Amino acid sequence: MLDIKNISFSYDKKPTLKHVSFKIEKGQNMALIGESGCGKSTLLKLLYGMYDLDSGTINFKDKPILGPKFNLIPGEDNIKYLAQDFDLMPYITVAENIGKFLSSTNKTKKQTRIQELLEMVEMVEFSSVKAQFLSGGQMQRVAIARVLALEPELLLLDEPFSHIDNFRRNNLSRKLFAYLKKQQITCIVATHDGADVLSFADEVAVMKDGIIVESGVPQKIHSNPKNKYVASLFGDVNEIKGKYLGIKSEPEKTLFIYPYQLKAAANSNLEVTTKHSYFRGSHYLIEAVYEDGVLFFESKTAILENTLVYLK
């Protein structure tokens, strides 16, 4: 459905994107993850046709996506882009913002669609409130509903939950991505938080310095990250040599181990001394020191400072 071949782009002399290529099929959810400034947002804007490529091609359903040199108004009819600034009209209501691009020929159908989207983003009680009086998170939820109104074939979301409270974002993301799957709407999400994508992405592309450094299914990338940068996008990570984990064949190989993967043992090659216990709700994150530096592991209970613990 979307075919990106060897695209490069720069705002000035320094390249922002370098030789990026990937494909995405209809109905797939793809996540672009990486640190701030790695090129995620720029890539989404290029896919929407907001900029002209330096080189390479972008094809949507075998039709090239071209920038402002070729199109007075960027974007394709069947592609919707949600920017980080939301782009709502402040002086009209939430319902009017959501229905802005819906046809008024059948008013009953239009109102039904608006109500459906209000319920999805949990904004029914704010339907008559003007956008200027909403919080950042509420604006973001309205913006999500608005880009869904016409059921695009391709949806481009730039940090779509960044302003939404954690207690609400989890439920909203489940509802949103279930809806996209049901409607077979292809979606590309840019985010800096890899943990966000594990439950919904069919494929993940990890970006750094304008290039895709790793791509594949999220389970594989999470379980076998190629370097610390990739692993760190999914949370805290330890760098531990194989000799401490009993890997005799590769004692000096560096492994990337998440805190939850380390368990207390009666005896092992990895002997640590605890320093701090951080309460995380369902568990404690324990900071400890060992021969090669600092590491973190999880425990169901707090552990006193300077306690000797064996891990495996």
DSSP state of 81: E
**What's the pLDDT score for residue 45?**
95
Least confident of 77-86, 107-116, 140-149, 273-282: 77-86
- Asked if residue 244 has pLDDT above 90, the reply is yes
**What's the pLDDT score for residue 149?**
92
Q: Alpha-carbon distance 278 to 290, whole Å?
A: 18
Q: How many helices (H) and strands (E) does the chain have?
A: 7, 17
**What's the pLDDT score for residue 196?**
79
Residues 6+ apart with CB under 8 A from 125: none
Q: Do 258 and 235 touch, CB atoms closer than 8 A?
A: yes
Q: Which two tokens stand for residue 250?
A: 């590769």
- Which is more confidently placed, 114 or 87? 114
- Asked if residue 300 has pLDDT above 90, the reply is yes
Return the number of other C-beta atoms located less than 10 Å from residue 40's C-beta: 25
Rounded to the nearest 10°, the torsion over CA 204, 19, 60, 67 is 120
Q: Do 303 and 274 touch, CB atoms closer than 8 A?
A: yes
Average pLDDT, the chain: 93
Q: Do 270 and 309 touch, CB atoms closer than 8 A?
A: no
Q: Which two tokens stand for residue 163?
A: 């302003």
Per-residue model confidence as pLDDT tens digits over 152-192: 999 999 999 988 888 888 889 999 999 999 999 999 999 98
- Assign 286 a pLDDT band (cuts: 50, 70, 90): very high
Structural domain boundaries in the chain: 2-227, 236-311
**What's the pLDDT score for residue 87?**
84
Closest by Cα among 211, 214, 213 to 19: 211
- Collapsing DSSP to helix, strand or coil, 22 comes out as strand
- pTM higher than the cut 0.85: yes
With residue 44 as reference, give the H or E element that holds it.
Answer: helix 40-48
Q: Alpha-carbon distance 265 to 12, whole Å?
A: 55
**What's the pLDDT score for residue 260?**
95
- Assign 143 a pLDDT band (cuts: 50, 70, 90): very high
Q: Alpha-carbon distance 92 to 234, whole Å?
A: 39
Percent of the chain with pLDDT over 70: 100
Candidate ranges 68-82, 188-202, 226-240; pick with highest mean pLDDT = 226-240
Distances (CA, A) of 165 to 3, 15, 162, 190, 278: 34, 35, 8, 18, 22
**What's the pLDDT score for residue 167?**
82
Kindly report the CATH class assigned to 2-227.
alpha beta
**What's the pLDDT score for residue 165?**
87
- Look-up: residue for tokens 């993301």? 173
- Collapsing DSSP to helix, strand or coil, 2 comes out as strand
